[in-house]
Structure 1
C-alpha cells in the first residue's frame, strides 16, 4: 500500500529546494539578454527604430504566453517532469543562435525558442511548488520560487554586462548560457521528481462539489467571468507590460543619459535583484496580510518607479526608479500566483495557472509594441510616462473588482 503524499513546505523541503535551483537556471537564461541585447541591436545590426529593436521582446512574449497555456494543459495530462525536461531541450540552441546570429532574424528565432522554453520550464516549476505545499504557505512558496528565478535574472544580467564590457558583446557573454542549459537539464532529468500524485491526493481532500469545466469555460472564467481571477490576469498582463518596457527601453534611456555598458548592466540587474529578493518577504506577507492589498499597492509602487525613471537624468535617479519598480513588482508577482492557487480547484489549477500566465506574458509583447511605437513617435520620456499611467489604472481596477482570496483559501482548507 502506497503512503499518501504529505503536503507542506517543510515536509517537502528537499524537492522544493531543488526546484528553486532549477528555476534559478531558468531565470538565468533570460538574464543573458537583459543588459546587452538592445546594444547588440544598435551596434551589430544597425537597428534605429525602437519598434524594430524591441521586436525580440515581442517574439519572446508571444511564444512564452502561448506556451504557458499549453504547458498547463500538458502538465495536467502527462505530468510535470516531462514538460520541464522538454523545456530545457528547446532552450539548448538559444545561446548558439545569439552568439553567432548573422542577422536580426536569427535573434528573433532565438527569442521565440527562449519563450517556448521559459513557458515550459518556469510554468512547470511554479505548478510543481504549488502541488507540494498545499494552501497554508502558498504565498511563501511562490515568493521563494520567483526569488530564485528573478534574482538569477539579475545576477546573469550583471555577469553578461561585465563580460561584454571586457570582451565585447558577442560571443563571450553567451557562453554562460551553455552552462545554464547543461546544469538545468541534468538536474531536471536525474533529480527532479514528479508531483502530479500530490494533486490527486489534494483533489480528493477538498470539500465541496466537483466543478467540471471544459477548456472554453475555464478560459472564460480565468479571463473574464470570475472577478478575482480576471483581476489577477489583467494585473499580470500590465505587470509584464512594465517588464517588457523596462527590458527594452530602460537600457536605451540609460544610454541616452551617458551610462556606460557596465553601468547599464548594473542598473539592469538592480531592478530584478530587488524584485527577486523582495519576494521572499512579500510572498510570506501575503499569507498573513492577504493578497489584495499587496497586488493593488504593488501596482501603484511600480507606477511610481517608472515615473521616477522617466524623470531622472542621472544614475542615482535611475537607481531609485529601479528599486521602486523592483519593490512594487515583488509585492505583486508571487501574490498573483498565490491568488490563482487560492481560487482554482486542484483538478484544474495547472490549467488556470497556464491561462493566467498566457495573459501575463502577453504583456511582454504589448509592452514592447506600445513602448516602441510611443518612443518612435513621441520620444523615450513620453513612452515611459504613458506606461506609468497604465499601471496606475491597473491597480485601481484591481482595487475595485477584486475581493480577498486568502480568506477563501483558508476556509476551503
Structure 2
C-alpha cells in the first residue's frame, strides 16, 4: 500500500522548530487524552469495591480488561486508517467515541455500565493517543524522534498523574461519584473541539521525509507489517514484547494498587497521592529520557528501565510502610520513563516512513494488550494468593522482559 497522492506545499518542512505551533497544540490535546484515563486511576476500582460491593478482584479489574483489549485492537487498525483516511480524521473519531465515557461512569447503575464505558474509552484512546504520537513523529522527522515521543508521552502521563491526584482529592471530600468524574467531561469537550477546529493533517510531512530516502524492498501489506513487527525483525519483536510487559505491569497497578493499599488502611487521598506519583514521574521523566535516547541510544535506557520497574514493584509488594510504597511508586515511574518513549522511538527507527504508522500500530497493539493480560492475571493471582503475590509475580516477569530485550535487540539509533 502506498500513501494517497497529496499535493505537497513547498513550505512543508520537518523539524520541531519549523512546526512548533502544531506540535504544541498536539501536546495539549494529548494531555486531555491522558486525563481521560486519569479520571479512572484512583476512583473506578474503589467504585467497584465500595459502591457495587464486588468481592472478586478479577471481576473488579474487568473494566481494565475491556479497555485493554479494545484499545489494542484500535491501535492495530489506527495506522492503516491513518494512511487511508488521514491522521486528523482518526484523531477526531477517537474523541467523538470518547465523549460519552464520563457521562456513563457518572450514571452507571451497575458494573456492566462501567465495563461498557471502558470499551468506548479503549477505542477512543487507541485512535486519539496513537494519532498524537504518529503526527508528532511526522512533524519532526528522524533527527528529533526521541524528543518528540518524550514530549508527547510527558504531556499524556503528567495529565494521568495530576488527574489521578485531583480525582482522589475530590473523592475524599465529595464521594467517588459524580464530582471527580466531572473533570473528564471538561477534558472530552476541550479535546474534541481543539481536534476538529485547529489540528492539521501531517501526511504531507511523511511524503517529504520519504522522498529523501531510498525505497526499500519492504512489506507494504498489513499482514507483512504485522508479522515483521511482531516476530520476524529482532528489534521490532524485542520492542513489542517489552511494550506488552510494560503495560502489563501498568494494568496490574491500575487495578490492584488501590485495593491493595485500602486493605493496608490507607485513605482515598493518600492512595490518590501514590497513584499520582507514578505517572507524574513517568511523564516528567520522559522529557529527559526521550532526547537522551537521541544522544545515547535506546537500548540501555530500555533494558535499565525494565529492571528499575521490577525493583519498584518488589519494593511496593514487600515494603510495609507508606515511605516504602512511595519509593516503589517513584522507581516504577522512573523506570517507565526510561522505557516508554525509547520503545516508540526504537520502533520508528526500524520502520520505513511509508509503513511506519502501521508498524507503530502493531507495536501499540501488543503493548496495550498488556493492560488486559496484566489486569486479568494479577486479578486471578490476587484472588488465589493475595495482592503481594500478584505484584511480586509481575515484578519478576518485568525483569525477565528487560533481559529478553538486552539479548534480542540491537541499538536502533545509529546516530547515537
Q: Shorter-chain TM-score: what band?
A: over 0.9
Match in the other structure for 1:169: 176
Matched, 1:218 2:218: no
Match in the other structure for 1:34: 41
Match in the other structure for 2:347: 340
Match in the other structure for 1:74: 81
Matched position secondary structure for 1:288? helix
1:45–1:103: 8 Å Cα contact kept in structure 2? yes
> How big is the shift at 1:214?
1.3
> How big is the shift at 1:4?
4.8
Give the whole-Å Cα distance in 1 for the aligned partners of 2:182 and 2:44: 15
Match in the other structure for 1:227: 234
Give the whole-Å Cα distance in 1 for the aligned partners of 2:373 and 2:120: 19
Match in the other structure for 1:350: 357
Give the whole-Å Cα distance in 1 for the aligned partners of 2:216 and 2:242: 30
How does the TM-score come out when normalised to structure 2? 0.97
Please give the per-residue CA displacement for 1:154-193, whole angstroms capped at 9, x wherever unaligned: 1111111111111111111111111101111111011111
Would you identify which runs of 4 or more consecutive aligned residues in structure 1 move more than 2 Å? 207-213
Matched, 1:304 2:311: yes
Match in the other structure for 1:127: 134
Matched position secondary structure for 1:194? coil
Matched, 1:21 2:20: no
Match in the other structure for 1:151: 158
Give the whole-Å Cα distance in 2 for the aligned partners of 1:286 and 1:43: 43
Please give the per-residue CA displacement for 1:330-353, whole angstroms capped at 9, x wherever unaligned: 000000000011010000000001
Match in the other structure for 1:238: 245
Give the whole-Å Cα distance in 2 for the aligned partners of 1:100 and 1:312: 38
Tell me which of 249, 269, 279 is aligned to 2:276.
Answer: 269
> How big is the shift at 1:70?
1.1
Give the whole-Å Cα distance in 2 for the aligned partners of 1:332 and 1:106: 34
Structure 2 unaligned regions, length at least 5: 1-7
1:60–1:112: 8 Å Cα contact kept in structure 2? yes
Match in the other structure for 1:179: 186
CA distance change for structure 1 residues 254 and 78 in 2, over 3 Å: closer, same or farther?
same
RMSD of aligned C-alpha atoms? 1.1
> How big is the shift at 1:208?
4.8
Give the whole-Å Cα distance in 2 for the aligned partners of 1:299 and 1:394: 7
- How many matched pairs? 409
> How big is the shift at 1:210?
4.9
> How big is the shift at 1:211?
2.3
1:88–1:185: 8 Å Cα contact kept in structure 2? yes
Give the whole-Å Cα distance in 1 for the aligned partners of 2:95 and 2:244: 25
2:99–2:188: 8 Å Cα contact kept in structure 1? yes
> How big is the shift at 1:2?
3.2
Structure 1 unaligned regions, length at least 5: none
Matched, 1:86 2:93: yes
